[in-house]
Structure 1
Amino acid sequence: MSFLSRGLLFCAAVAVALSAFRLPLPAAEPVRLFGDATPLKWSERMARSEMERRGEGMFHGGSPRARWGYETSLLGLSLLHLGERIGDEAMIEYGAKTAESFLGADGLIHTYKMEDYNIDMIPPGKVLLFRYEKNPSPHLKAGMDTLIEQMRKHPRTSEGGYWHKLRYPWQMWLDGLFMASPFLAHYGKVFEEPALFDDVANQILLMDKHAYDPKTGLHYHAWDEKRAQDWANKETGTSPNFWGRSVGWYAMSLVDTLDFFSPTHPEVEAINDVLRRVADGIARWQDPATGLWWQVLDQGTREGNYLESTASSMFVYALAKGINRGYLARETYLPIVTKGYEGIIRDFVRRDGGETISLTRCCSVAGLGFTMSNGRPRDGSFEYYIAERIVDNDLKGVGPFILAGIEMQRLLATKDSPVAVRGWGDYERVLARIQAPTFPDRDFDITQFGARPGADASAAIRAAIEACHAAGGGRVVVPPGEWTTGAIRLLSNVNLHVSEGATLGFSTDPKDYPIVPTRWEGVELMNYSALVYAHDEENIAITGKGTLDGRADWDNWWGWVRSPGKPSPQRAARNRLIDLAETDTPVAERVFGDGSFLRPNFIQPYRCRNVLIEGVTLRRSPMWNIHPVLSQNVTVRGVSIITHGPNNDGCNPESCTDVLIEDTLFDTGDDCIAIKSGRNGDGRRVGVPTTNVIVRNCTMKDGHGGVVLGSECSGGIRNVFVENCEMDSPDLDRALRFKNNAVRGGVLENVFMRDVRIGRVAEAVLTIDLLYEEGPRGEFMPVVRNVQMENITSTASPRVLYVRGFEGATIDDIRISNSTFSGVTATEVVQHAGRIVFDRVTINPEVEVRGLNSVPPPTR
């Protein structure tokens, strides 16, 4: 069926679509079953089983034994996360009560004694913080402040490490890192106490320094600075064995703490190194037969040792979350966590009837010092660890089991995982993810399908594309000459090759562009196809040294923006589209096209994978030139974009992952590169950020900005690298620009620029404008953070910085280093900004300025 016929049938279908119809979000992978359920379902079964088993006994007053402590809050926190994930308010309230029920209206914590200085009493603070961020309350803050006061006074080792308890002097345990570190880091982020991050980093690194054993790749359970305990090695101070759950506590502490650390913190990479060491140790000692882990990790099948469920659940949770957050390499650890989770479900989960389940083979407790109830010393020996009771449904296993299912569901629902990006050290990992597609050595010349110079070649091009696709792929070749076409739709495994000397000119008749699913200025709708369009295709390309000419001018497409002396023809439709999106009208009912004057883009791969645009020249685009949407693995290389019409942005990746733009010339009527992720409520509905964008070796001439983030950025943008570019034109306004407001919202973070040479720009080298259009008049506070510029030179700019925020918005961690800015003529603009750091920066004004007290050198 032809592209035009498909388009007409689609339009007819849209006209009778049900109001509930919505275009699908990017398809998630079907999540495999473990036994008869997905990981998320197993978590839900365990959560409901525990809520039924324990009832009110978890809460203050519900049982004489109910206590404020880490065990109940670990289950509580897991219920909060699961309840939020599946939309169960009752589960959320139950989880919250594991801590909140112990908290009085004045913030007094029942059953808690600060004077014990017991680090095990800190984890319920994580539940309070979770709740506080949703609904700030003075009594929650008072309770958290009590815990913070304990930790400010908590006894420490000589290097500042927290004692595990007052009655365990000079001792640090792996357990204690989980108890305090995530809470302190979270508190530090919410209440802006950066010193807490330094303290937490110190705790983590001290434990690694003193407890790590390079021979096994594992960490000992504990360390005694004074070597005074009977269990302590008299030379190293470490306990004698590697207890599974203690390593699990440490692993969970690392992935949970990193949630809150700024990527610019000086120790964040060191913490990641610790996590990788811990993960490697966990992987090394996984039981090859079952995928599970032993009570004493390195002792395997030694008599009395057993495969233990709490440590196994912690390990799967920590590794799966590490992959999901980009801290750990997916290809390395996915087989390990999958096998581990299989083993947990197979060997540790018992069906108790219906949907009720239990977690078996849980070590009840283990510690160091003092004695067990039977008089055996807790001496850290192998014999001690295997002697502790084995029980069902211990909360120290149930909570991690629930969390593990949440992370496994997320992990298995995608084919890929993110890269945690902190700076240029992660550049190569991001670059390695982007691979241009290749095609079979097979050509389909459009003249073989009836194309003739001077005649409409649309049908011939369509037939060649369909034949190439049916044959398994290759090149559809546009030979030298002048060719005319309407809309082109690419199919999987097709490379549209525009030969040197060929010009492919596009019709300016809107009737030649079918109505298709698309995005227009960040909002989903049904509108004109791009001049070259693809939807849900894989391995597609536009290559060659020829020219694609959109033939736009003020008598056709460009005239839709404005007409002399008349209102903008497109304005009414633009406003109607925004209104439809904000009232949550289904996308299939947002039908535009004839009479709406919303111009098509030039090239738009929509929901595609493995895209290459290389070598061609683009001229006279109706609107945005290259606009990949919801696509992955996109390469734009060696393209020349020369077009000065309205909104003629050069390349606008939107809600895309893994994009490389290199060796490309931008001479445009708007932003050269504008990175986007959807507008306002519609962008939040789709909720797909743009991540992992590399721009290198490009030349930016005319345009509003060289590299721009926004303004349609409601889904967020992160991990952008820009290097070795030339930017120079009196009609180029900024080099690096962020534009956002409180209606769009979105987090823009991890943006790195280096080795960029800037000639003349009209406004500033760096512009961060959060007052763009609606400015502060909205509920979605914009965030710009972790922006690093180094080795930047400019020869003529009014100013270096034009930075405007407002109360409630975030502009933070802006760092410029090793850079020289000359010819500066105006005052810097900085409003409502956080940390802006200049390191080895020179700013030379156009006219030399002398200090008020400057005097000439003495004469001889």
Structure 2
Amino acid sequence: MSICSLVFRTAGVLACLALLQPPATSRADSDVPRFEGATPGEWAVRMAESEIARRGGALRQGGSPRAGWDYGTALLGAAMVRLSESTWDPRWREWGEGNVASFVEPDGSIPAYPPEEYNLDRIAPGRVLLTLFERTKEERFRVAAQALRAQLATQPRTSDGGFWHKQRYPSQMWLDGLYMAGPFYAHFGRLFEDPAAIDDAVLQFVLMDRHAWVAKDQLHRHGWDESREQPWADKATGLSANYWGRAVGWYAMALVDVLDHVPREHPGHERIREILGRVAAGIVRHQDPDTGVWWQVLDQGGREGNYLEGSASSMFVYALARGVNQGHLPRTRYLPAIERGFAGLIRELVGKNADGTIDLLRCCRVAGLGGGRDGSFAYYVGEQIVNNDIKGTGPFIFAGVEAGRALAGPKALLEPSEDPWELAREIIARVRAPEFPDRDFDITAYGAVAGGEVDATDAIRSAIEACHAAGGGRVLVPEGVFLTGAVHLLSRVNLHLVEGATLRFTADPQKYLPLVFTRWEGVELMNYSPMVYAFEQEDIAITGKGVLDGAATEQTWWRWTRRQPDGSQSWQFPSRAKLFDMGERGVPVSERVFGPGEHLRPNMIQPYRCTNVLIEGVTVRDSPMWHIHPVLCTNVIVRGVSVIGLGPNNDGCNPESCRDVLIEDCLFDTGDDCIAIKSGRNNDGRRVDVPSENIVVRNCVMKEGHGGVVMGSEISGGCRNVFVEDCVMDSPVLDRALRFKSNARRGGTIENVYMRNVEVGRVARAVLEIDLMYEEGSRGPHRPVVRNVEMVNVNSSSSPRALRIAGFPGSLIDDIRVIDCTFRGVEATEMLTGVGSVQMQNVVVEPIPAMRNSPRRTPPAPAPASPAR
């Protein structure tokens, strides 16, 4: 077994321990380089401590004459929030957010904010308002953020739509303004479902790039005057004359930060990535070769009067490192520049004091254009130079956090063309929602009656058939509760439930006849129809803001799986055993007839062998069994869906033997796995032999459930190319975040599974669990394989274990990588048995307080040799 060293936090001090015996040449802190004895993250902590010691309460409302609603306070506050996220220390967040929050009254008003100035600098604190609202849900922060959004709605603009930097700077766009407004604007749009805000934010970046970019120098000029009337503006181009370091730094930081909030499917996402690529190349081109940092006037290094400047240098290190960490910039290309840049910061621009505090040296106090500021070289180098300007210390903290992540681990990694996440982007690009003709077929026009008492099954069927015969459209379910049995979708039909509409499915099994060709726990059969079913159809959808209510209870469907009052087996048990036996013996599917007299519960939504499937916006609840179960489908989107059901086997979304699947922006609160990827059970799965592949899960919230994202256990057909990112998993009764389950009866190869940027609260078992001893365990002839699994930036707050990996002689678990992760509140040692290579890079495991003084050791495990690949 090959395992890199882990970082454990004990009594507030970072200590580096080895999970198993590391190589003698291994470096402390999992290959994170040290600069004058400290890692970048430790330098960030030192700067945060120094700033709090220097400033105390001076940035809070009334704390000093200079305290105000300004971008400096906001920048340092946002940096402190990022540091808290990195270190799990709430002190930084509380101090940074508290400074901004102090200006917001209980009713959400901001007395220190003058909206009539139309000053983009006043928008910057909104970024902290949004993080405050997301964390606390306090109404005053939402109200305050909406006031800033209202300013942007009426901000004066250039003729092509670009924001004036301030009302008193007519017709002018400055690079600074993109940082002040852009990330807030896009974050607001994402958080409050305001797509116009995201569109407009993207436009600002595109326009600034169009007007200020100078290709020959690979840099953007500080300002652009559309009118060409300003004394500093070139009469032909409208551009200012020089490249001010911090102005380019503002723009670079804005580019990487706004990408966190512009959806990847938005056309502006790739456009901003392209701009960032050019900006990054220009930054590296103008990096001082001797010191690794950057000059006040970027392209005139060494000219008399010019100087190496602290704030711009910090901004550039941050922007490059964040771009690499988020996958926007190629790691191998920019890692050397990041390392040289951070080393130069510590060597050239950080002062170390006897009391342990540190200073950021040689910061330009302020610079701008107009009012006698002519944008000349002499002007920029003549502005006051200070230490510890807040516009530099904030970016320095950002730089320490992100450079530490970027520099962790081996330096020779995949080239961009080999980036596995490139495949995720390709999957997303080709998965497209079906389109439907603009015509509606209201079910009430076909006899459906609201109220939940009159059976609407026939009316819904008639509306679907009419829609299909007409060439497609929407079958409309209006407000009200409609009682129904099975609903069968046909090609080109979108079943649309308006807000306030509910389809409530009856518990009468007779309403799910005739029997249909379906799959039940990975085995094909003829059984009760799923509640919403489609077989070999194209272009189908379930959309809207309404509810599909399975209405299952302990007195109806769920009762089938419960033991009898006398303790005898459930009604379901003999039917389940009978089906599995048929699957093992290869009984023809046409002869596997269940339904009446048997007790195999139907799933709720099941498109079977369908192409182009969309399920969007609806709430799905209380299914008899699995909620959403596409089988053998291609091009599937499950978007913005809430799945709520705590009954037995109430999985959320289980794509089985499907290809090209996107699951995004969903909520799962389930009685079993939230998302379980499957491909058939045992011999029947091997008979069909279709893997699940090319699946992207992003921006989802997982609450209760056995696992957040799970592969298995019905996985005999295999699974590959699964990507999970930007999810939140948090519930005391969510058992695992990422889970693999198979055994020697199931077999199957699960490979190429990537998870990144996932926040995990409390899980009841382990953050990562690979269990090849599930159910039958080693009792079987089929080798289960799990290989090439990567978790990056997955952070948890509490769990019995960080990792639980269990194989057996003959199984294969290999090439498991855990990178840039923090696991807090861990209660027991990791369990690793029957596993090959497990690599950990820059991983922090923080035990619960009772364990902090106890030795941590993982039991030795057999380590079968990794096969050649």
TM-score normalised to the size of structure 1?
Answer: 0.50
TM-score normalised to the size of structure 2?
Answer: 0.49
